[in-house]
Amino acid sequence: MLKSKDFAQVLIDSGYDFFTGVPCTIIGNLITNLTDRSDVTYIPAVREDAAVGVASGAFMAGKIPVVLMQNSGLGQCLNSLTSLNLIYKIPCLLIVTWRGFEGKDAPEHLVMGRTCDKLLDTVGIPHHNFNHDNIKALINMSYKLVTENREPLVLFLKKGIIE
Amino acid sequence: MNYREAITTITELLDDQLVICANGLISRETFTIRDRTENFYMIGSMGMASSIGLGVALNKPSKKVIILEGDGNLLMNLGSLPMIGSLQPGNLLHIVLDNEVYASTGNQPTISNVIEKSARYVYVEKVTTKENLRREMTHTLKNEGPSFLLVKIVDTAEQIEIGRVTHSPEQIKERFMSAINQ
């Protein structure tokens, strides 16, 4: 498993320089690391749509932002993604933890666990999945996609890939 | 003071300040009264004006950033008040035009009568007249924030048909970003 601080380093080395989000246990250590670092800013948001809004403002002021959240938060920020980011072409990388994957999780995660990727397909937001071997490649590719296409992009992170 | 008079009074005092205009009548009126490249018209994503403004303010400390929204927008994203209060962006001025209704959709009542003082803004003032709004704008534009102005709107004016923002969302973003970097 990749250490969260190394995961953070890959994000920063690839060019991302502004972070905000709402915690999930899968990204708990990552958020702690980003908060403790002096070279980047992590803004704790009250809701996932507020995180998307702050990230959008940060982009317009010159940053390339990352939003961290659990897949439960996708529903919360769907209106911001569709009526702000997609139509204004304001990009951000969303790292979304995939709770409820293959039905193995607490009951509150099961519906979003089996539908979160289809939800993104429906509204037209591209998404990819992290695995143990593609972390660096996927993050570097995401930076290129986000900055060139000027659209939000989701990278799903399941349990057991970073620690 | 109706909201047209309030927006006129506010925009008359602006030079290079960046303004995030909330969706609905506020964007449409501001566009009609004084279209500027420094205005970001948020045509959708209701509630997000304060979050977008916070994101801009944190990353562009050399410019004054104004959030211009109504009570409906503020109520939809009240959590942005403690976010702004905890992060303390000194260049942020948060203006809420409080008419106690959702005017863009036909004046259904809001519950904004509970909005008064917010947490940890360094300056909070409520104004009801054009003269006081002008005075408070002059003060808050000059001084360190985050500041909060609650502007009470008594909208007795008949609803005149008001045009929509004619710039495309991408044009709004592109010219706003070029204004940020000037």
Handedness of CA B68, B72, B76, B81 (dihedral sign): positive
Residue A49 in contact with partner chain B when CB distance is under 8 A:
yes
| Res. A48 pLDDT band, cuts 50 70 90 | very high
Residues of A in contact with B169 (CB under 8 A): 87-89
Q: To the nearest whole percent, how much of chain A has pLDDT over 90?
A: 99
| Res. B118 pLDDT band, cuts 50 70 90 | low
pLDDT at B109: 81
Q: To the nearest whole percent, how much of chain B has pLDDT over 70?
A: 94
pLDDT above 70 (res B67): yes
Bridge partners of A127?
A: A154
What amino acid is encoded at A142 in this protein?
A: S
Contacts 24+ apart (CB under 8 A), A98-101: A98/A71, A98/A129, A98/A156, A98/A157, A98/A158, A99/A24, A99/A26, A99/A70, A99/A71, A99/A72, A99/A159, A100/A71, A101/A158, A101/A159
| Res. B64 pLDDT band, cuts 50 70 90 | very high
pLDDT above 80 (res B119): no
| Res. B160 pLDDT band, cuts 50 70 90 | low
Residues of B in contact with A87 (CB under 8 A): 43-44, 169-170
Token pair recorded at residue A159: 């349990």
Q: Please indicate whether, in this complex, the C-beta atoms of B169 and A87 are within 8 angstroms of each other.
A: yes
Residues of A in contact with B60 (CB under 8 A): 61-62
| Res. B116 pLDDT band, cuts 50 70 90 | low
pLDDT above 70 (res B157): no
Q: Which of A18, A41, A54 sits opposite B51 (nearest CB)?
A: A54
pLDDT at A151: 94
- Region B35-50: mean pLDDT is 97
Starting at the edge strand found earlier in the chain, the sheet holding A65-70 runs: A42-44, A18-21, A65-70, A93-97, A153-157, A127-129
Q: Which of A60, A78, A82, A151 to mutate to test the interface with B (most CBs of B within 10 A)?
A: A60
Mind listing the pLDDT tens digit for each residue in A107-142?
999 999 999 999 999 999 999 999 999 999 999 999
Q: Please indicate whether, in this complex, the C-beta atoms of A57 and B56 are within 8 angstroms of each other.
A: yes
Q: For the stretch B141-158, what's the b/e string if a residue is b when 16 or more beta carbons lie within 10 angstroms of its beta carbon?
A: beeebbbbbbbbbebeee
pLDDT at B159: 62
| SS3 letters across A7-49 | HHHHHHHHCCCEEEECCCHHHHHHHHHHHHCCCCCEEECCCHH
- Collapsing DSSP to helix, strand or coil, A97 comes out as strand
- For the ranges A11-25, A45-59, B107-121, the lowest mean pLDDT is seen at B107-121
pLDDT at B27: 96
- Collapsing DSSP to helix, strand or coil, B175 comes out as helix
Residues of B in contact with A58 (CB under 8 A): 55-56, 58-59
- Region B25-53: mean pLDDT is 96
pLDDT at B99: 87
- CA-nearest of B100, B95, B128 to B114 is B100
d(CA A56, CA A108): 29
Q: To the nearest whole percent, how much of chain A has pLDDT over 70?
A: 100
- Region B73-84: mean pLDDT is 93
- Region B24-47: mean pLDDT is 96
Question: What pTM value is reported for the model?
Answer: 0.93
